[in-house]
Amino acid sequence: MSPDGGETAPFEGDEAARRVRRRRVLYLHGFDPAPTERYRRLIARAGAERGGTPPAMSAVGPLSPVSEGWRITAREGARPLETPVETVFEILRYEDVVRQWRARPLLARLGSGAAALARFAATGGLRRVFSFSKGPAGLLFYPVVILSAFLLAGAAAGGALGGLAGPGWGDAGAALGALLGLMASVRAERALFAHLMLGLFEFLFRLAADRPPSGRMEMREAEFAVRIVEAVAAAEADGVDEILIVGHSLGAVIAIRALAAAMRIDVDLSGGRARLSLLTLGSVGGYVSAAGGPGAEAYGEDMILVASDPDIFWLDVSSKRDWFCFGLVDPLLMLEAAPAAARSPKVISAKFGPARPDPEDRRTRFRAMSLHMKYLAAPDQKGAFDFLAAAAGGETLEARFRDRRDSPQARLRLL
């Protein structure tokens, strides 16, 4: 009996091609994390919509001081398996760090965020991002344009009303109107995400420059690394065939950093106790790679360490329709110099169909965010990436995708 309550199964079969009976998923969320229960509902709904026997899911519960999760028991599609696949889906959480970062006073957040964007552009980061992908480069201007529009509209309205009150009241009215415009932008945040995006960019740039709150994130990443090492160490005794590390959005950056830290703790981390796989979804890592400074260099070293291990299969999934990521850009292409030993991940498209807002979350009425979360949902197009199959199906990530070609639209690193 394993610590998670299931019976153990013997470890056997070819590492690359064997079927999976037990799996542990370690999931790293993004900058706007949802409660663990909502991730569970999202994945459950995806299973119910795809036909066949829907997966059975246990209740959410704590799994460690830094994680929560649940168990999934699933049969892949209509194909009968001798035994269902058991997956422990564990979410490694750092939303307390993000929440504290986002809870700073409004004017302080706006001022430091604008300064961070200006430094990023002045040091060549914007030019580098533009060379990788025009979409993410344009997204850098989004919070500036939206917040400036609220400021200017409020100032113009306030100035006009102040002028009607008499001479000398125009400037005071404009200042008050600008402040009210900022407050209106906060009220509109659930639809526009301007403050969220500005906070995300500054957070990433500070990680890349090794500035606060990077210290708190390094401490949390160290805890995640220990969690990965513990999962690998327990794999054989628990009968776990695959350990799948998933990083979504900002979580893709955190996943690579944590996995690299785990590899430095245990130099034989991928040595055969269980198949170790890395899945990155809608990654924003290009912003870190483009920022320069010691943090970016360290992140590049972490990517190279992970990509150079022949026993780790890395799949990068994105879409050019997803505004919030570097769609179909090889992560190693963003490094100035990556050794030949570093193998690029397989880069494939999610092939999103229509982006449906989530009726349980009003924030996803803004379809761009709905699309960014859709990596976790069932596909709408034949041949699209299916997260539930990868996370709870009967094949390892490598067995499922090793013969699939990179997306023909992908920008790949050429050796």
Between the CA of residue 260 and those of 19, 248, 251, 304, what are the distances in Å?
26, 17, 14, 9
Mean pLDDT is lowest, of 44-48, 165-169, 309-313, 361-365, for 361-365
Q: Which helix (H) or strand (E) holds 106?
A: helix 106-122
Split into its structural domains, the chain has a count of 2
Q: Which two tokens stand for residue 89?
A: 């889906």
Query: Do 195 and 117 share a structural domain?
Result: yes
Q: Please give the model's pTM, rounded to 2 decimal places.
A: 0.91
Final residue before a domain boundary, out of 162, 179, 202 = 202
Query: Do 357 and 333 share a structural domain?
Result: yes
Query: Do 53 and 127 share a structural domain?
Result: no
Q: Which two tokens stand for residue 391?
A: 């996370």
Query: Do 173 and 94 share a structural domain?
Result: no
Q: What is the CATH number of the domain that holds 370?
A: 3.40.50
**Torsion 26-366-142-185 (CA) sign:** negative
Final residue before a domain boundary, out of 202, 224, 243 = 202
Is 406 a member of any domain?
Answer: no
Query: Do 154 and 217 share a structural domain?
Result: no
The more confident residue out of 84 and 313 is 313
Expressed as residue numbers, the domain containing 148 is 104-202
Is 338 a member of any domain?
Answer: yes
Final residue before a domain boundary, out of 165, 184, 202 = 202
DSSP-based three-state secondary structure for 389: helix
Query: Do 265 and 189 share a structural domain?
Result: no
Q: How confident is the model at residue 9 (pLDDT cuts 50, 70, 90)?
A: very low
Is 413 a member of any domain?
Answer: no
Is 10 a member of any domain?
Answer: no
Query: Do 375 and 234 share a structural domain?
Result: yes
**Torsion 64-67-73-74 (CA) sign:** negative
The more confident residue out of 168 and 32 is 32
| Cα radius of gyration (the chain) | 23
Q: How confident is the model at residue 360 (pLDDT cuts 50, 70, 90)?
A: low
Q: Which two tokens stand for residue 57?
A: 């899911």
Query: Do 169 and 270 share a structural domain?
Result: no
**SS3 annotation, 38-79:** HHHHHHHHHHHHCCCCCCEECCCEEEECCEEEEEEEECCCCC
Neighbours of 395 (CB within 10 A): 19
The torsion region of residue 401 among left (phi > 0), alpha (psi -120 to 50) and beta comes to alpha
Query: Do 243 and 173 share a structural domain?
Result: no
Express each pLDDT in 19-47 by its tens digit: 899 999 999 999 988 899 989 998 888 88
